[in-house]
Copies of this chain bind each other. A is one copy, B any other.
Amino acid sequence: MNQHVSICEVGPRDGLQIVHQRMATDVKLRWIAQLAASGLREIEVGSFVSPRLVPQMADTGEVVKGALEIAGLTVCALAGNLRGAISAYEAGAHVVAIPISVSDSHSRANVNKSTDEQVEAVRQIVDWVRAQSRPMRIDAAAATAFGCSMEGDVPQARVAKVARALADTGVDCIALADTVGYAHPAQIRSVVRATQDAIGARLVKLHLHDTMGLGLANALAGLEEGIRSFDSCLAGLGGCPFAPGASGNIVTEDLVFMLESMGFGTGIDLQQLIGARTLLAQALPDEPLRSGVAAAGIPKTFHPQAVQA
């Protein structure tokens, strides 16, 4: 069994995009540097989307360039279309992440395209990227894979079908995203298995939200189905645009605590990771910062895995 788990910190993107306060570019870069120093090896630092729609992300080009200075860090940026992917490439991102809603209604509401049209857009991105001189990893995230705030239930067969179509475009990795946080552990197991049946090891990652308080239970279910890569967010920053007061992404600190306690190595120093909350508290004083282990303190029963040099 693979005892290493990769965590991609998405706070600078999924967290900050929902926060009303703006974080200055230099503060973002200091925060990203602290996250990387704690041992995070992959960070989604921003998104190349319309600055009119998401003004918090307007400086993503600069943030990518700054983050590339951090040795050993894989710099990831989100893009919704070819134009965004080209911007990511030009900025020098190592990875471009592209969301594709499995739910047609959600897809149309988000990017004004059906799911099939968005899969086609991914194919164009892949073709463009593969024609460039520098390699860039392409991750596709099947959004609303566990339910949709508009359509409700999302059939598992449809998730597997969309994952298959995404795999056929030639992307490197596919993630399943519980975009609205409706998933439960039995569903995670079942949808992960169906997707593994469809695309095998191309299914790499889960992107989970803690909306209903089930985030880490869902991560556990995924872990036990063989998933070894998760998105998460320091302090669970960001909340949920659909539900004021609700939680955001699963909390990186608590995820690291769970994984390391269970014998999985993450390469992350938990105390140092918790230290990166201080900057967040100063920069975003109005945001609630979540995390059990940060509030309670690391217990004396915590025996982390040795960090590989």
Closest CB in chain B relative to A246 CB, distance in Å: 4
* A159 CB to nearest B CB, Å: 13
Interface bin, chain A: 35 or more
Task: Determine if A186 is an interface residue (Cβ-Cβ < 8 Å).
Answer: yes
Contacting pair B301 A186 (CB below 8 A): no
Which 6 A-B residue pairs are closest in the complex by CB-CB distance?
A213-B292, A213-B254, A184-B261, A246-B296, A243-B296, A147-B301
Q: A152-B299, A185-B258, A242-B296 are in contact. List 8 more A-B contacts (CB 8 A).
A: A184-B262, A213-B251, A214-B257, A217-B217, A217-B219, A220-B221, A245-B295, A247-B295
**Interchain Cβ contacts under 8 Å between A and B, 14 examples:** A147-B301, A153-B300, A180-B299, A182-B301, A211-B292, A212-B293, A213-B216, A214-B216, A216-B216, A216-B217, A217-B219, A220-B220, A243-B297, A247-B292
A residues lining the B interface (CB < 8 Å): 147, 149, 152-153, 180-182, 184-187, 210-214, 216-217, 219-221, 240, 242-243, 245-247, 251, 254, 257-258, 261-263, 290-293, 295-297, 299-302
